[in-house]
Chain A
Amino acid sequence: MTALAIRDLDKSFGGLRVTAGVSLAVMPGERRLIIGPNGAGKTTLFNLIAGELRPDSGAIELFGADVTRIPSRRRAHLGLARTYQIITLFAGETLLRNVTLSLLGLSRLRWNPVASLARQDDLLSQARDALRRVGLDHLADRPVAQTSYGERRRVEIAMALAQQPKVLLLDEPFAGLSIDERRDILALLNGIPRDVTIVMIEHDMDAALEFAEKITVLHFGEVVVEGTRAEVVAHPRTREIYLGE
């Protein structure tokens, strides 16, 4: 059974066909990379998978269950988590509170208007653990505004991991990072256990290629090349898209 399956997904904005009959099958535990030049429709694909956008046609399946009509918030409860290309943290809050909100999203507690959030020791220690996994627990009480860009990227990942997802969508996790920071994030990602399936969009080749097992190349909304890392790198079409034109 596939962890994430997409069949003939189609999405147009006005006259522009941003996603053109995309089909994808990601196996459980796989590390899939989606690449393509700017405008290829990568982030739109993620938005469709996450449920932020409704496809014009096609189907999306999560572990065999059809989720095409299921709203975005329910997909989170079904084990889907994502990070964003542009950092979307809760700017006025501490790192701990950011990750706590992530944990709270899947807990019944989020509807409680009388309990004290500060006293939910169980939740808070889970949040600290999530920060520890990305090496940020020493900054747990620091407001987001006082952290560096690289640290914020790690918080994004911590928040997604805190949801204990079955399928993790990473949208350009290396964007804007220094070489050292990229190496750290790569190590972090490599440390994620195999019960999490990871699909990554990236622009930066070096770090992403090291990570990927299978690669899908998108161009103008279509899948043009797909295969193992070696196959895709050697494929003439890939060269053409990235170096030619």
Chain B
Amino acid sequence: MRRTALAIALVLLAALPFWVGNAYYTNIAAQILIYAIFALGLNVVVGYAGLVSLGHAALFGVAAYAGAVLVNAGQGHLVVVLGSCGVTISVAAIFAVLALRGTGLGFVMITVALGQIVWGVAYRWISVTNGDNGVSITARPSPFGLSLATAPAFYWAVFVVFLAAVGSMAVFVGSPFGASLRGTRDQPRRMTALGYNVWLIRFLAFLLSGFWSGVAGLLYLYYNQFISPQAVALTASAEVLLMVISGGTATLLGPIAGAALVVIIKNVASAYIERWNFVLGAIFVAIVIFMPEGLVPGTVRLWRWTAAELRSRGAARTAEAAPRERTP
């Protein structure tokens, strides 16, 4: 049942540019996938390591800025990708070493501080980042000579990366390291007594998280062909965190659903509802009240409850309709 659902979903997503019809919505879908990758990356730290980060937009942004600088310096596609990844992972390592000095709110605040410092640098290091004006790149890359200038072409490129992200996450979650990571979230004390190096596990998880956040950042740069300090602001970090929490941290689908929720409300609903900020906030509050574990687990729960209700009602009706057995 799950396999068929997954297969159908994949086919629908792959064929999206066809059944959606116009470039605007295809672009929205591409944005959803980009933010889904970002949210999945953040979830490695928030959901699996149990550490709340409010500074991940810095990693996203650093990748985009590094990419922009390298592209404008005339570097080839491969160099841009490798350079951007390298810079992002290095920054993620620095973040991790500092943030892991704290626990709980201390960890959160260190990530806030680091994120704000990166934002400050993006804002003021005008010679490199152009400050508030941001950095533009003139064209999207053409991997293997294929142009990504049109909406469907770019969507498919993002879709491929998205598949790689989800696939690798699924493998990671089922791996021994993934189990170790979740163990450190639930009982860090016991894990140490069992022989695990809790700090190192968390550090490596942060690097993995930084890598995927950086991938999303680079895709974002290619999508907009522009990067500005706004993408590194505290609100951006808060937004991706909200995507993860609202969708639910326990599943892979959660962050994807959360990303879809926020992107759709921000981009699509905002065209129809003037008070979309209020609506988004209200949805978050409603999720906390009715589905505190997140949209995906909450929906699954609702589905199961409905199915069980229908089944028991059906059984009751069948029992009523069956002829009475007469025992001699």
Contact = CB atoms under 8 A, between A and B. Distances in A.
A76 interface: yes
Contacts of A93: 186
Nearest to A100: B179
A77 B195 contact: yes
Contacts of A90: 182-183, 186-187
A52 B193 contact: yes
A115 B171 CA distance: 7
A115 B174 CA distance: 8
B193 A116 contact: no
A82 B177 contact: no
Contact of B195 (A52, A105, A116): A105
B179 A116 contact: no
A109 B183 contact: no
Interface in B157-199: 171-172, 174-180, 182-183, 186-187, 189-198
Given A52-B192, A73-B192, A90-B187, A118 B174 contact: yes
Given A90-B187, A101-B183, A114-B171, A109 B176 contact: yes
Contacts of B193: 50, 52, 72-73, 76, 81-82
A105 B194 contact: yes
Contacts of B172: 113-114
Nearest to A123: B176
A102 interface: yes
A112 B176 contact: yes
Given A90-B183, A101-B179, A104-B180, A116 B190 contact: no
A117 interface: yes
B238 to A, nearest CB: 27
Nearest to B183: A101
Given A90-B186, A90-B187, A113 B192 contact: no
Contacts of B183: 90, 101
B192 A72 contact: yes
A84 B195 contact: no
Interface in A87-112: 88-93, 97, 100-102, 104-107, 109-112
Nearest to A91: B186
A102 B194 contact: yes
A117 B198 CA distance: 19
B190 A110 contact: no
A68 interface: no
A120 interface: yes
A106 B193 CA distance: 10
Interface in A50-86: 50, 52, 71-74, 76-77, 81-82, 84
Contacts of A97: 179
A102 B191 CA distance: 8
Given A105-B195, A116-B174, A88 B190 contact: yes
A78 B232 CA distance: 46
A50 B208 CA distance: 31
B175 to A, nearest CB: 5
A238 interface: no
Contacts of B171: 113-114, 116
A117 B176 contact: yes
Contacts of A113: 171-172, 175-178, 208
Interface string A112-140: 11111110100000000000000000000
Nearest to B208: A113
Nearest to B205: A113
Contacts of B176: 104, 107, 109-113, 115, 117, 120
Contacts of B177: 110-113
A76 B193 CA distance: 6
B194 A116 contact: no
A159 B193 CA distance: 11
Contact of A73 (B186, B187, B196, B208): B196
Interface of B: 171-172, 174-180, 182-183, 186-187, 189-198, 208
9 contacts: A52-B193, A72-B193, A73-B194, A73-B195, A76-B195, A81-B193, A89-B187, A117-B174, A159-B194
Given A73-B196, A89-B187, A101-B194, 11 more contacts: A52-B192, A73-B197, A82-B193, A90-B182, A97-B179, A101-B191, A104-B176, A109-B176, A110-B196, A116-B171, A117-B175
The 10 closest A-B pairs by CB, nearest first: A105-B194, A76-B195, A105-B195, A113-B177, A109-B176, A112-B176, A88-B190, A113-B175, A72-B192, A90-B186
